[in-house]
Structure 1
Amino acid sequence: MTLFFDGSKCQRGGGAGVVLIPLDAEPMPLSFRLDFPCTNNTAEYEALVLGLQVALHLGVKSINIFGDSQLVVNHVMGIYQCKNEELQ
């Protein structure tokens, strides 16, 4: 399975987009509204977490993850330290 994620913020909250692509099925695009004030980084993290939760619910055991947030990707890979306690 492959997971692509992206998040964005706006004045009233934010949004999270996820596309899950199984090896043997059609892609599953998903979108989520974030009904709370957030930063763009928070929205990116929420998108990743929501995508992983869906993948776990589907019973996925192995996954490749792609995102356009250098901060989030490098946090997950352990290259950057996460300084924001809310995001740890």
Structure 2
Amino acid sequence: MNCLEGWPEGPLGEHTIEYKSRPVIKGQVLANFVTEVPQNKEKECLIEQHTPTPPEQDQVWSLFKDGVSSNEGSSEGLRLVNPEGHEFTYAIKLDFKSTNNETEYEAILAGFRIAKKLGVQHLEVCVDSMLIAGQINGSYESKNEVMVSYLSQEKDLILQFASCKVVHIKQSENKSVDA
């Protein structure tokens, strides 16, 4: 019996319509994919997904900082330079007693926070303290409890950038911030 019998003649009435079920191909596509992609290629794809691409040089911002502690108090100088060469200069006075190293860490923390608020994704931090640069990069170990706390905060903030590199520079290359 035709399922259209008894239906009035209309635009479809004169055509014979047959219904056929579609074969399931999803499982076969998956099976073909698994056999076509070798296991070592899967590992390569995973590594490629998790390997960050280095930023273009014209996307990297530079942060120069200097922290100074004395009997009169502690202060910090920051200079953030965007890829076009525009400079943002900051001077910060700390309201608490701190050592030179603590002031250096405070300066970096302030620089990270400012850079993040400006929407910076790729940052190169230029530090004139070999100790601080080495501790952040992991080549020096921090044993002082206060320094460990600062280092933990630095690492947390670094993770908020797409890329962040801390480099040691000579004090002579940091004169504008020292001033």
**With structure 1 as the length reference, what TM-score do the two structures score?**
0.94
Structure 1 window deviating more from structure 2 (17-26 vs 50-59): it is 17-26
Residue deviations 1:21-48, cap 9 Å, x none?
A: 0012520111100111110111111111
* CA-CA distance at 1:20 after TM superposition: 0.1
Partners of 1:85 and 1:78 lie apart in 2 by 16
Q: Identity of paired residues, percent? A: 34
Aligned to 1:76: 136
Partners of 1:14 and 1:61 lie apart in 2 by 29
1:51 paired with 2:117, answer: no
Question: Counterpart of 1:53 in structure 2: which amino acid?
Answer: R
* CA-CA distance at 1:15 after TM superposition: 0.5
- Bigger fraction of residues in helix: 2
Count the aligned residue pairs: 88
Aligned to 1:63: 123
Partners of 2:115 and 2:131 lie apart in 1 by 22
Q: Specify which of 83, 88, 95 is matched with residue 35 of structure 1.
A: 95
In structure 2, the residue corresponding to 1:63 is in which secondary structure? strand
Partners of 2:66 and 2:85 lie apart in 1 by 22
In structure 2, the residue corresponding to 1:82 is in which secondary structure? coil
In structure 2, the residue corresponding to 1:75 is in which secondary structure? helix
Which one has the largest radius of gyration?
Answer: 2
* CA-CA distance at 1:84 after TM superposition: 1.5
* CA-CA distance at 1:82 after TM superposition: 1.0
Once superposed, which parts of structure 1, at least 4 consecutive aligned residues long, lie more than 3 Å away? none
The answer to whether the 8 A contact 1:12-1:37 is kept is no
1:7 paired with 2:67, answer: yes
The answer to whether the 8 A contact 1:6-1:67 is kept is yes
Residue deviations 1:54-79, cap 9 Å, x none?
A: 00111111101101111110011100
In structure 1, the residue corresponding to 2:67 is in which secondary structure? strand
1:22 paired with 2:77, answer: no
Partners of 1:3 and 1:67 lie apart in 2 by 8
